[in-house]
Amino acid sequence: MMLPSVKIKKILYATDLSESAHYAFAYAVSMANLYGAAIVILHVLMEIPNLNTSVQAYIGVDQWEELRERNLKEARESLTGKKRERGVIREALGRFCEDIKSTSGEHFETDEILVKRGKPAEVILEQSQEKNCDLIIMGTHGHGFLADVVMGSTAKKVIRGSEKPVLVVRLPKK
């Protein structure tokens, strides 16, 4: 039996900016170097679906909107110097890549840095198709039996829904 040729030209590295995602980046860089592939970096700003209605029930719709807008504006001004949060995260991820290149000596091509809003698993799957990626690499949290049971809902959903191979990387036990 002849094995099919494996060609990986583009890797989607999904990050939630956690320690496990950072660890998974080493695998993304290694695979990119091994196959001469480019890396698409994706961070998804998660939307919390029922938060608005839960809070609105306590304080009212008008007060909720006023509070939400005021807090958004204050957060943007204090944390981002009036830049949009997507731009700041994209810039931080770009700097992270440059730091890794300069300190580790590893060379890899960053094809694109994306910051999207939505449900993480859905956005990861959409972007892997849209960007024509050959492999998805992401981290997962936890160790032990409980971690095995709840492996990470995002990772599980991506594995179940992906037509592309998915590499899920755990943090090593300390």
Q: Do 126 and 70 have their domain in common?
A: no
24's enclosing H/E stretch is: helix 19-35
Calculate the average pLDDT of the chain: 80
Q: Do 60 and 117 have their domain in common?
A: no
* Contacts within 8 Å (CB) and 24+ apart, 27-31: 27/137, 27/167, 27/169, 28/108, 28/137, 29/100, 29/104, 29/106, 29/108, 31/135, 31/137, 31/167
Return the percentage of the chain with pLDDT > 70, whole number. Answer: 73
- State the pLDDT at residue 146: 44
Q: Do 23 and 58 have their domain in common?
A: no
- State the pLDDT at residue 45: 81
Q: Which one is predicted more confidently, 28 or 49?
A: 28
Is 158 part of a structural domain of the chain? yes
Q: Do 73 and 143 have their domain in common?
A: no
Q: How far apart are CA 157 and CA 122, in angstroms?
A: 8
In degrees and rounded to multiples of 5, residue 107 shows phi and psi of -115, 135
Is 115 part of a structural domain of the chain? yes
Indicate the burial class of 77 (C-beta count within 10 angstroms; 0-12, 13-18, 19 or more): exposed
Q: Do 112 and 40 have their domain in common?
A: yes
Residue 75 has pLDDT above 70, yes or no: no
Mean pLDDT, residues 68-87 taken together:
59
Q: Which one is predicted more confidently, 47 or 90?
A: 90
118's enclosing H/E stretch is: strand 109-118
Q: How far apart are CA 63 and CA 58, in angstroms?
A: 10
What CATH code is carried by the domain that includes residue 147? Answer: 3.40.50.620
Is 4 part of a structural domain of the chain? no
H helical segments located in 105-166: 120-130, 144-149, 153-161
Assess contact for 158 and 121: CB atoms under 8 A: yes
Q: Do 58 and 119 have their domain in common?
A: no
Q: How far apart are CA 55 and CA 155, in angstroms?
A: 29
